[in-house]
A = this chain, B = another copy of it.
């Protein structure tokens, strides 16, 4: 599987390390249950793998508490994520995959491309910094830009917003969002926000759509002023 100056790890190891990386963005330490849920295995399997990864110095494991990646572990995770996001963008740009298809295909390929392949698509895409969902692509050296935007669900009626990022892991949601005209870097306006966790009324490309809070949680946005709105819309005229 992936290398880059280090040992070679199995696909299983790469996958565990990747999801641990993502989980530890949220939590101080990653618990056995959280990990096994995401990996769709039993907690027992997660425990065993955690011990093995600790053995390989990819993470620090405190029994009954949880797990945290080491430097080395983060490097492995970021390499896998780099592959994933470069692949997503490549599949989208070069092969015409849609928003909702890229994740699944990249998921399989990310463990099997060579550094040569990585370099070539990176060059072909002109060294991109974000994937089709707005996620930052880690550099070859292992640094990542911070995630952008706050949840759309936290916006208020009257806000004018730019879409900076959407969650990549729910094809259904992505298909639906694409269907109502939601695009990266596109402008949306919150017309109403229903109480009791009710839906948001969004204006997208002049059309109104009602979007529930759960779905809104998949979208990350940035507020802009009315004047900014004009410039952005001018740039996307003709969509």
> Residue-by-residue, is A85-120 near B (CB-CB < 8 Å gives 1, otherwise 0)?
000000000111100010011001101111011001
Please classify how large the interface on chain A is, using the bins under 10, 10 to 19, 20 to 34, 35 or more: 10 to 19
Q: When each residue 113-141 of chain A gets 1 if its CB lies under 8 Å from chain B and 0 otherwise, what string results?
A: 11011001100100000000000000000
State the oligomeric state as a number of copies: 2
Please classify the interface of chain A as helix (H, G, I), strand (E, B), loop, or mixed, using the class held by over half of its residues: helix
Contact yes or no, A121 B109, CB < 8 A: no
Contact of A105 among B104, B116, B124 (CB under 8 A): B116
Contact among B104, B112, B120 for A109, CB-based, below 8 A: B112
> Bound complex: CA of A113 vs CA of B96, how far in Å?
15
Q: Which 9 pairs across A and B sit closest by C-beta, in order of nearness?
A: A95-B120, A108-B112, A112-B112, A109-B112, A105-B114, A105-B117, A96-B120, A95-B124, A105-B116
A sample of 13 cross-chain residue pairs with beta-carbon separation below 8 angstroms, ordered by A number, consists of A95-B120, A95-B121, A95-B124, A97-B116, A97-B120, A101-B116, A105-B114, A105-B117, A108-B112, A108-B114, A109-B109, A109-B113, A112-B112
